[in-house]
Structure 1
Amino acid sequence: MIPVHGFKGETVAVLGLGRSGMTAARALREGGATVLAWDDGAKGRDAAEAEGFEVRDLTRSGALEGVITMIVSPGIPHLYPAPHPAIRAAWDAGVAVDNDIGLFFRSLGYDAPRTVCITGSNGKSTTSALLHHILTAAGKTAHLAGNIGRGVLDIDMPGEDDVVVLELSSYQTELARSLTPDICVFTNLSPDHLDRHAGLGGYFAAKRRLFAEGGPDRAVIGVDEDEGRFLANQLQEAPVDDRVIRVSIGKLTGPGWQVTAKKGWLAEHRKGRQVASVDLRDIPGLPGRHNHQNACAAWAAARALGLGPREIEAALRSYPGLPHRSQRIAERGGVIFVNDSKATNVDAASQALQAFRKIRWICGGLEKDGGLHALQPHFENVAKAYVIGREADAFALDLGSGVEIEICTDMATAVSRAAAEAQPGDVVLLAPAAASFDQYDNFERRGEDFIACVAALD
């Protein structure tokens, strides 16, 4: 655990007592702070009381008297669609609002390790895990935390020569008061969490803040969308500026530092000259164009950390992949079963549909804003769609024409029907293009149900 510095003898409130909130409370107490804890759910409050924290309703009049800072968990709205009442109370009382990411950076001190922060709409988990794998395979001591795995304050205090890899969501980058990463990575941008950020512009602004206020030494920017091009242009000072590394799954021109993966071939260019190349197409842990983009981003970050092309390539080939992200879980009678439950939005699902051919596609769930029309260009790869979810009929209607559809509602039925109709060479793919909360607690539970249903096939 990393003890939080700067609050010894002070009173700090923690709002939200999930993984990050409880870790922050423990780290604050370890650093000598008095912690007041609150969660809207009784389960969280009971857990805090069991660990000896004082539980206090932070919305109550006078509850913030003597409090210097409020630490807010990522899941709690702090501005849109409406601030939590406790946050409004903090504003009124003049109490600073921060999160565990801000506490992490302010607690590192002068002998801080190198820190790589990775954000974006899709691919940030894979990019983070892949970079961590590359560093570990190269013999470096690396820590993986943030929006993936452990809470950022839950890792052991890193040494000066260590590398900390943090996956950060827009919820985390938007609120952190202290952001001092060495390297920042922006994978891509597609519409997501729009209610939480009052639209796409607010969503991008939350991501951009990591770069604009973080002031990294190096920035790895995916430039396949206009937002990435805009961000790269804002950060560069000249056409040849090695502080910015552009990443694309297409062709890039110009004299700067670039890493591309056109048609599955990763190529690194510097000052107009190719310095390395790797064929990604036969790497089982990185299937499809979207994973090739992730590989480019991780490659660029590893190169910025001083690793050589050969050791990075070797690590790419040994990467096992992440659960629920293009995860190949079984092959039965020539039919491959792939779990991409993390494809919770249209952009992620479209990437999954481009990664395979002859797809028996399991999709559906809690549909997000923006509709499903962007998936239609990829229906040529889909033999049939099997729709799950409590609103499966509406989801199927929104898919429109161009693909055969069967309403299955539940996972077991969808897996059974897809497996029964699949032919050798087909891929049964779970890529929901929707959130899981209509039927599951999270996308992990949905993926686990898919795996269990596949295992239960005769």
Structure 2
Amino acid sequence: MQERVVVVGFGRSGTGAARLLKAQGVDVCLLESGNSADLQRRANCLTAEGINVELAKPLSLASFAVLPERVVLSPGIAFDHPVIQQLRDQGVAVVGEMEVAWNGFNGVPWIGVTGTNGKTTVTSLLGHLLQQAGLDAPVCGNIGSSAAELALERRGGATPAWAVVELSSFQIEAAPSVAPKIGIWTTLTPDHLDRHSNVNNYRSIKASLLRRSEIQILNADDPDLCSHTGDWPRALWVSAKPKQQLPAVINTHIWIESGHVHNKNGPLFPASALAMPGSHNKQNLVLATAAALQVGLSANQIEQGCRSFPGVCHRLELIDTQNEVFFYNDSKATNYDASLVALQALPGPLVLLAGGRAKRGEPAAWLKALELKAKAVVLFGEATPTFNELLGASGYGGKIELREGLAQAVPLAAQLAKELGANAVLLSPACASFDQYENFEQRGDHFRELVEALKN
């Protein structure tokens, strides 16, 4: 008897999961609460492939006319949603798209990369290193193609040597079978607390992926991870600092000393091979290096790969220089800590563009960095009143301007940079993008367009 599966959510992950399941011979239906013209067009495409799509279906038991054997959730839907729990109570198995992809890859070893910040850069860099060394190692997950899309693309074709997969907490909690060959944990600071309630729950979800990983690589420079060293007796710890500066309880595997990346056998290559600003990128470098060595790359292959790495879109991306002012797109900075990293990486003075949909978090360090680095802050979007109040309460001494959106904020930021003698305009929103954009990529692309328009 053919298995019946309902996929909930019509995003990239949901579409990829539905297509992969269909290719596996599953009777699949996709439910989506929206009903826009674009969704109608996309639904028609899937219907032509034999996938039943039902639009305007809210997440309620009434939307499930007949209970399926399995429900596959898109990452945007809470794993503990009351309706999802009701489905479980009635015997329905509930998983996420990553679980479907994991099974669809048929034994391809994964390098799973997670963390609050840094995971996209590490995933991108590591994929680049492996590919430049001649390995078939596609990048997917919370970056680029969905993992299910990639599994479908490779179905019946060339089997990858590795899959380099970025995994968010939303994806990990709904994929309990995913067990990477190599697991990497970049950082841990409070994030997504509206979804996970508290940092302990958030940490536990991230940790579950590493516990299922055969090889565990952790960042010894992250205060939270470092405070839990006793939980990871077999981990490979890495640091952007000299080995002697780390606690004695940490058996450091890779570190940076005298400008070179080191392991126990001595220096491997100059840390300057990765030409990206900020100490956080040195941490990303040693995490990627540790994994690449485990895969079997030589130090020379890693060095050459680092030298040709183009960087990551929307993460401290230098997009233009106008009138001696640098314009940086850091749209991926969707929380205080990510924006703080950008502020610490760049020399001041600068003008910051911040705003969007605010998240729960601790802004004190971010506010302190603004005082040190930012001559002005231009606020935009839904978070404007919240951020304006935060800046006022902190005693911020620079100029504060409020605008509706980026279209109004970017020209003003460029003008302020000229008037105040700032050398950079930095879009590092410290917010989610969902008040005005579909995702942070769309926000960053809009910023790029607006900066280009300044020339005219």
Q: TM-score range by the shorter chain?
A: 0.7 to 0.9
Instruction: Determine the C-alpha separation between the residues in 2 that align with 1:372 and 1:78.
Output: 28
Deviations 1:12-50 (A, max 9, x none): 121112111111111111111111221222245774454
Please report how far the alpha carbon of residue 169 of structure 1 lies from its aligned counterpart in structure 2 after TM superposition: 0.3
Contact 1:261 1:293 in 2 (8 A): no
Among residues 360, 380, 384, which one is paired with 1:392 in the alignment?
A: 384
Among residues 394, 406, 409, which one is paired with 1:411 in the alignment?
A: 406
Aligned to 2:372: 380
Q: Secondary structure at the residue paired with 2:5? A: strand
* Distance verdict in 2 for CA 1:403–1:274, change over 3 Å: farther
Please report how far the alpha carbon of residue 60 of structure 1 lies from its aligned counterpart in structure 2 after TM superposition: 4.0
Q: Secondary structure at the residue paired with 2:86? A: helix
Q: Secondary structure at the residue paired with 2:69? A: strand
Please report how far the alpha carbon of residue 64 of structure 1 lies from its aligned counterpart in structure 2 after TM superposition: 6.5
Q: Alignment RMSD, CA only?
A: 2.5
Aligned to 2:52: 54
Q: Could you say which structure has the higher helix fraction?
A: 2
Q: How do 1:68-83 residues align onto structure 2 when only pairs under 5 Å count?
A: 68-79=69-80, 83=81
Among residues 251, 269, 292, which one is paired with 2:282 in the alignment?
A: 292
Please report how far the alpha carbon of residue 364 of structure 1 lies from its aligned counterpart in structure 2 after TM superposition: 2.1
Aligned to 1:246: 237
* Distance verdict in 2 for CA 1:448–1:91, change over 3 Å: same
Matched residues, number: 432
Among residues 105, 108, 113, which one is paired with 1:113 in the alignment?
A: 108
Instruction: Determine the C-alpha separation between the residues in 2 that align with 1:425 and 1:395.
Output: 21
Instruction: Determine the C-alpha separation between the residues in 2 that align with 1:438 and 1:323.
Output: 21
* Distance verdict in 2 for CA 1:425–1:59, change over 3 Å: closer
Contact 1:336 1:425 in 2 (8 A): no
The letter of the residue matching 1:187 is T
Aligned to 2:217: 220
Among residues 324, 338, 346, which one is paired with 1:334 in the alignment?
A: 324
Q: Does 1:17 align with 2:10?
A: yes
Instruction: Determine the C-alpha separation between the residues in 2 that align with 1:274 and 1:11.
Output: 56
Instruction: Determine the C-alpha separation between the residues in 1 that align with 2:325 and 2:45.
Output: 49
Aligned to 2:32: 39
Q: How do 1:195-344 residues align onto structure 2 when only pairs under 5 Å count?
A: 195-212=194-211, 214=212, 216-229=213-226, 232-237=229-234, 244-250=235-241, 251-252=245-246, 254=248, 256-261=251-256, 265-270=259-264, 274-280=266-272, 283-284=274-275, 286-344=276-334
Instruction: Determine the C-alpha separation between the residues in 2 that align with 1:456 and 1:115.
Output: 42
The letter of the residue matching 1:73 is S
Aligned to 1:241: none
Aligned to 1:141: 136
Aligned to 2:86: 89
* Distance verdict in 2 for CA 1:67–1:45, change over 3 Å: farther
Shift >4 Å, 4+ stretches = 43-46, 55-58, 158-161
Instruction: Determine the C-alpha separation between the residues in 2 that align with 1:36 and 1:440.
Output: 28
Q: Secondary structure at the residue paired with 2:138? A: strand
TM-score scaled to structure 2, two decimals? Answer: 0.87
* Distance verdict in 2 for CA 1:335–1:369, change over 3 Å: same
TM-score scaled to structure 1, two decimals? Answer: 0.87
Deviations 1:139-181 (A, max 9, x none): 1111111111111121124755611100000001111131121
The letter of the residue matching 1:210 is L
Unmatched 5+ stretches in structure 1: 1-7, 238-243
Instruction: Determine the C-alpha separation between the residues in 1 that align with 2:323 and 2:53.
Output: 56
* Distance verdict in 2 for CA 1:370–1:253, change over 3 Å: closer
* Distance verdict in 2 for CA 1:231–1:422, change over 3 Å: same
Identity between Structure 1 and Structure 2 (%): 33
Contact 1:64 1:93 in 2 (8 A): no
* Distance verdict in 2 for CA 1:198–1:390, change over 3 Å: closer
The letter of the residue matching 1:395 is F
Instruction: Determine the C-alpha separation between the residues in 2 that align with 1:267 and 1:221.
Output: 16
Aligned to 1:354: 344
Contact 1:266 1:278 in 2 (8 A): yes
The letter of the residue matching 1:67 is P
Q: Secondary structure at the residue paired with 1:383? A: strand
Deviations 1:297-340 (A, max 9, x none): 11111111111111111111111111111100111122111110
Unmatched 5+ stretches in structure 2: none
The letter of the residue matching 2:171 is Q
Q: Does 1:188 align with 2:187?
A: yes
Aligned to 1:429: 426
**More moved, 61-70 vs 21-30:** 61-70
The letter of the residue matching 1:402 is Y
